[in-house]
Amino acid sequence: MEKKDRAIFIDFEFTMPDRHGRKKGFYQEIIEVGIVLVENGEILDQFSSYVVPIRFPILSERCRSFLNITQEQVDGGISFQELINKLKSMETNYPSLIVTWGNMDMKVLRQNCQKSGITFPLQGKEVDLSMEYKRFFGDQNQTGLWKAVQEYGREGTGKHHRALDDAMTTYHIYKLVEKDKQYLKKPKPTTIGERIDLSKLFNKFA
């Protein structure tokens, strides 16, 4: 992490077109947000809310069933502008590290801002943890968030496709990856006994 070790872990859920084709001009909109703000390894803030989509406010049946979400829940959410204000308030006086699993979250946020004529709210360096994970472990394919946790021998937090649970799970994986990076970066110790057994390490992730 950078500058006071501050990072914002973000996960969004989006609208989806129906199976039978897209409405004209359809684009994905954020309908749920989960944010975990971490500073110096401590969770400072967590935020979770549904978000009312602007352009296509009625959810498709596919979206409702995939995310196990109701129209009423989304209708009771915050406005997109309130979401933007919340994201701005998270960064306070200096940019933080912005961590997501995959690149869709920031892509859709940028597009939603553009379509609404709102300035993109985040200044910090964006990290796609799924690509970091892929580079670090040499996986051929991009790993799904919860598969990555299970490969670490953990279970995800809460329910998959609940935005706050996914943001928290992303944070847990970030901690595990950073810890392993430190582990592999250690200078060669003076005694053999202190050396890490790489064969065990590789077996762990095989």
Taking only the tens place, the pLDDT of each residue in 139-160 is 555 556 556 656 555 554 544 5
Domain 6-205 class in CATH: alpha beta
Nearest alpha-carbon partner for 11 in 41, 32, 29: 32
Give pLDDT tens digits for 17-66.
988 766 788 999 999 999 999 998 899 999 999 999 999 999 999 999 99
Both tokens assigned to 152: 């670490």
Rounded CA separation 150/33 (Å) = 23
User: 182 pLDDT band (50/70/90 cuts)?
Assistant: confident
Residue 1 pLDDT exceeds 60? no
pLDDT of 194 reads 46
Domain boundaries, the chain: 6-205
Which amino acids are annotated catalytic? 13, 161
Give the residues across from 38 on adjacent strands. 7, 43
CA 113/CA 121 separation, integer angstroms: 9
Report pLDDT for 100. 95
pLDDT of residue 104: 95
Q: Is the pTM of this model over 0.85?
A: no
In DSSP notation, 34-82 reads EEEEEETTEEEEEEEEEB--SS--SPPHHHHHHHT--HHHHHTSB-HHH
110-143 pLDDT, tens digit per residue, is 999 999 999 999 999 999 998 887 777 665 555 5
